[in-house]
Amino acid sequence: MTKLVPALLLAVAVPSILATRSDAPPDRDQRGGVFHVGDFAAAGRDAASDDLVQQYCVRCHNERRLLGNMSLEEFDAANPVANAPIAEKMIRKLRAGMMPPPGVSRPPQEEITAFVTRLEQDLDGAAARNPNPGSRSFQRLNRAEYAAAIHDLLGIDIDASAYLPNETVSAGFDNIADVQNLSATLLESYLTAASEVSRLALGDANATPSEATYEVSRYAEQREHVPGAPFGTRGGISVMHNFVADGDYFFRLAFQHESTGNFFGQTAPFDEEIEVSIDGVRVALIPLDRWMHRQDPGGVEVVTEPIAVTAGPHRVSAAFIKVTEGPVEDLTSPHEWSLADKKIGYSYGITGVPHLRDMTIGGPYNVTGITRTPAWERVMTCRPSSPADEPGCARRIVEGLATQAFRRPVTGAEVDGLVGLYEQGAAEGGFDIGVRTALQGILASPDFVFRFEEAEAGSAAPGGMRPISDVALASRLSFFLWGRLPDQELIDVAAAGGLSDPDMVQAQVERMLADPRAEALGTRFAAQWLRLQDLDKVHPDALRYPDFYDQLARDMRRETVAFFNGLVRDDGTLWDLLTADYSYMNERLARHYGIPGVSGENFRRVQYTEDARRGILGHGSILTLTSHANRTSPVLRGKWVMEVLMGTPPPPPPPDIPELEATAEATDGRFLTVRERLEQHAANPTCNSCHRFIDPIGIALENFDVTGTWRVRDTGTPVETLGELYDGTPLDGPGDLREALLRRPETLSRNFTRNLMAYALGRRIEYYDMPAVRSVAKAAGEDGYRLSAFVREVVRSDPFRMTKADVVVEEPAEREGSR
């Protein structure tokens, strides 16, 4: 029964959610698929503008050639509103200087600027008369948001990937509502998570044994101290694990040995010991014979004796005892880390030190009870002194939890329903079980899992807009800036109607940006916008780049996130992303960059010693994620700049075009550089139509190798970075590329705004959003293009505060009756 009711709470909401969702974009006219922003039409035809389109554009974009899958034969330059989607595409390409393409005649730049300015003025004027803020009916918590919400609510850290499926990424982000489809499997995942998380938070004296396995990356360096593990250890793993009850647990450690059958190399100079510790206290010390082996080629496993552990979150570490202060002698491998064989990724390597493959925690056995954990103390805000006090105390607990979880004040009917769940659980197992059952119901509720955004009741504003409700705006603010639940202050302000006051909204924005939780702008928004997740897909060739390993890759990612957050915190500008002469790094990363004088694991601000590494174009994260394992890729780097920074991605290559790897690697007995192979590849006219845009950008960064270190030679030949941007601007190295990009501030600022707004709204940016994008970018420009100004202007914009008037608004009575 305790599982059935939460299931019904979540499942009953699905039909109504689907019913309110619109699959068609707003303002789609059914007459031939033409989009209209409004009824605006120009008074007369602009002959000069029309001549420019006919002379320079239609020769490629016509019904016969359809380059770019677009025809401009019928495009009316005097009335761009009649085909706003096409007009917006033209604006983006013209502002970036990509059209007309290189190699063909181009009109004078002043004519292009005047033409695109007229298009923008017409579209923005029409939008002002007939605004369209867009809308979405709901958005569900994704993995990252769910884990953050659980932490805010219960104070425990969970791995949401253990319960929820992979997120679908759209427009570069994992929080886009349009692709957050619902299914029976997904709903079951949320229900399972609700059950498991409530047990972890409050414990379960009836828990049956289970196992959880934590893997160590095969690319992890095994000689360095692992953060969280006791000092005096090296390698291994350290994790936070939530123990569900007081009892006995075992810890199984699995190691990988080389193919000869020896445990960790025939030349290992000594045996090893591995320590298992809980919260820094040793609970087991396991000797490892360097000749250990077994028939199973999968590796060696050792299991501890049962160890008594109390319920709650504990840090568990399994690390090798450090036996020498100097470098460990390793005659088997020329590399600094564990992955050292020529298979590069198929095994854990031949090395003089062992490699922990994974750690499994199993239990509980012989359960003795449940220790009061920090999560238990957070939930149990009162304790009944007698059975008669239990219902009142339970009601206070449930109301407080539901208010925070639902991100708004809860109604009496909602509390009654949750108290009913408490009563069911209490009848089965007493007060604590009753509260746990009610908590499970809260976590299974659609009001927790989904973010509903209702419009304020009343008459619609001009253009059919209504403000979203204050409680919806509070959630939108919190998930935008913090990536998590709104705090009590924001809930209270929303409940009092304070967010209807623009000055109060801006005061809350300033407060939230100053809060450490605003670092989610770096870990969530910037990391996805800059595609830092792709860093996990690149594992540089261990023989060519032996000093690259898992910890260094994590440092690279952390550098870029810390750099972005530093700009937000210190009121930096958008241009600082490209020009800053400093970054944030620790000793490991500074050593990789060749920067002296940095010691320790802690990140700190460090000035660059060379101008070439200024801004994110010199970050190891960006340079590595845009490379292949065994070579740099000017194509990937150029494509990244065009897509991520400029918002003008090149078209995908035709299916019959050979890969660069098909190009000969050597000629006349000499290995070709990446640039030389690329020039041979692009000699194909079909290839050249795209490569002339992409390649010069990537070639300007060729002095950076696969892992982001500076080089002057490639395969023994001096690196050559000289090239020409598609608009004719000469390029020779990263400094010239930065300057060329900065000469197009509209392109960079509008693309940044588009990405920031998409993340903030949780939906794709459509053609009808572009007037608002231009308005935000312009206002931020008037404030020096500060990142904080972009944030403030996005919050002020109509798409963030408003919704279409046709969004269904449920009255409180209806909501109560539906429970």
pLDDT tens by residue, 505-535: 999 999 999 999 999 999 999 999 999 999 9
Identify the pLDDT of residue 145.
98
Q: Any long-range contacts for 540-544 (C-beta under 8 Å, 24+ apart)?
A: 540/624, 540/627, 540/629, 540/630, 540/706, 540/707, 541/344, 541/629, 541/630, 541/706, 542/335, 542/337, 542/339, 542/340, 542/341, 542/344, 542/349, 543/342, 543/344, 544/630, 544/706
- By three-state DSSP, how is residue 485 classified? coil
Q: Which residue has the higher pLDDT, 326 or 455?
A: 455
* Whether residue 348 has pLDDT greater than 60: no
Identify the pLDDT of residue 463.
61
Euclidean distance between CA atoms 53 and 48, whole angstroms = 9
* Whether residue 240 has pLDDT greater than 70: yes
What does the pLDDT average to over 586-605? 95
- By three-state DSSP, how is residue 663 classified? coil
Euclidean distance between CA atoms 339 and 331, whole angstroms = 14
Which of 91-100, 480-489, 690-699, 808-817 is least confident? 808-817
Is there a contact between 508 and 490 (Cβ–Cβ < 8 Å)? yes
* Whether residue 66 has pLDDT greater than 60: yes
Tokens of 10: 């979540």
* Whether residue 11 has pLDDT greater than 70: no
Residues 6 or more apart whose CB falls under 8 angstroms from that of 514 comprise: none
* Whether residue 217 has pLDDT greater than 70: yes
Euclidean distance between CA atoms 663 and 421, whole angstroms = 67
Is there a contact between 1 and 8 (Cβ–Cβ < 8 Å)? no
Chain mean pLDDT for the chain: 85
Which of 165-179, 346-360, 434-448 is least confident? 346-360
What does the pLDDT average to over 85-106? 90
Euclidean distance between CA atoms 321 and 335, whole angstroms = 21
Query: What 8-state DSSP symbol labels residue 609?
Result: S
* Whether residue 235 has pLDDT greater than 70: yes
Euclidean distance between CA atoms 88 and 751, whole angstroms = 13
Q: Give 322's pLDDT tier (boundaries 50, 70, 90).
A: confident
Q: Which residue has the higher pLDDT, 69 or 21?
A: 69
Euclidean distance between CA atoms 90 and 113, whole angstroms = 12
Query: What 8-state DSSP symbol labels residue 207?
Result: P
What does the pLDDT average to over 175-188? 91
Query: What 8-state DSSP symbol labels residue 306?
Result: P
Euclidean distance between CA atoms 187 and 413, whole angstroms = 24
Question: Among residues 218, 217, 43, 20, which one has the least CA distance to residue 138?
Answer: 20
Q: Give 317's pLDDT tier (boundaries 50, 70, 90).
A: very high
Which of 8-22, 138-152, 630-644 is least confident? 8-22
- By three-state DSSP, how is residue 208 classified? coil
Mean pLDDT comparison of 315-319, 323-327, 665-669, 677-681, highest-scoring range: 315-319
Distance (Å) of CA 219 to CA 145, 366, 538, 817: 28, 38, 11, 56
Identify the pLDDT of residue 102.
81
Identify the pLDDT of residue 612.
93
Q: Give 34's pLDDT tier (boundaries 50, 70, 90).
A: very low
Lateral strand order in the sheet of 272-278: 233-243, 312-321, 272-278, 281-288
**Separation of CA 215 from chain center:** 22
Per-residue pLDDT tens over the stretch 747-756: 999 999 999 9
Residues 6 or more apart whose CB falls under 8 angstroms from that of 429 comprise: none
Question: Among residues 212, 238, 226, which one has the least CA distance to residue 317?
Answer: 238
Identify the pLDDT of residue 429.
93
Distance (Å) of CA 745 to CA 574, 575, 616, 774: 10, 9, 17, 12
Per-residue pLDDT tens over the stretch 252-277: 999 865 433 444 444 445 678 999 99
Rg (alpha carbons) of the chain, rounded to whole number = 30
Per-residue pLDDT tens over the stretch 247-258: 999 999 998 654
What does the pLDDT average to over 724-729? 91
What does the pLDDT average to over 1-22? 48
CA-based max dimension of the chain: 93
What does the pLDDT average to over 106-133? 93
Q: Give 656's pLDDT tier (boundaries 50, 70, 90).
A: low
- By three-state DSSP, how is residue 800 classified? helix
What does the pLDDT average to over 145-173? 95
Euclidean distance between CA atoms 49 and 788, whole angstroms = 37
Identify the pLDDT of residue 338.
44
* Whether residue 642 has pLDDT greater than 50: yes
Identify the pLDDT of residue 687.
61
Query: What 8-state DSSP symbol labels residue 455?
Result: B
Mean pLDDT comparison of 159-168, 252-261, 667-676, highest-scoring range: 159-168
What does the pLDDT average to over 572-581? 98
Tokens of 798: 């109509």
Is there a contact between 772 and 758 (Cβ–Cβ < 8 Å)? no
Q: What angle do CA 319, 320, 326 make, to 5 degrees?
A: 125
Identify the pLDDT of residue 657.
62
Question: Among residues 286, 287, 269, 272, which one has the least CA distance to residue 328?
Answer: 269
**Could you give phi then psi for residue 9, rounded to 5 degrees?**
-60, -45
* Whether residue 398 has pLDDT greater than 60: yes
Query: Residue 215 belongs to what H/E stretch?
Result: strand 210-215
* Whether residue 14 has pLDDT greater than 80: no
Question: Among residues 115, 112, 110, which one has the least CA distance to residue 99?
Answer: 112
Cβ neighbours, 10 Å, residue 374 = 13
What pTM, to 2 d.p., does this model score? Answer: 0.89
Question: Among residues 528, 549, 647, which one has the least CA distance to residue 169?
Answer: 528
Identify the pLDDT of residue 23.
40
Distance (Å) of CA 655 to CA 6, 319, 373, 683: 49, 49, 58, 17
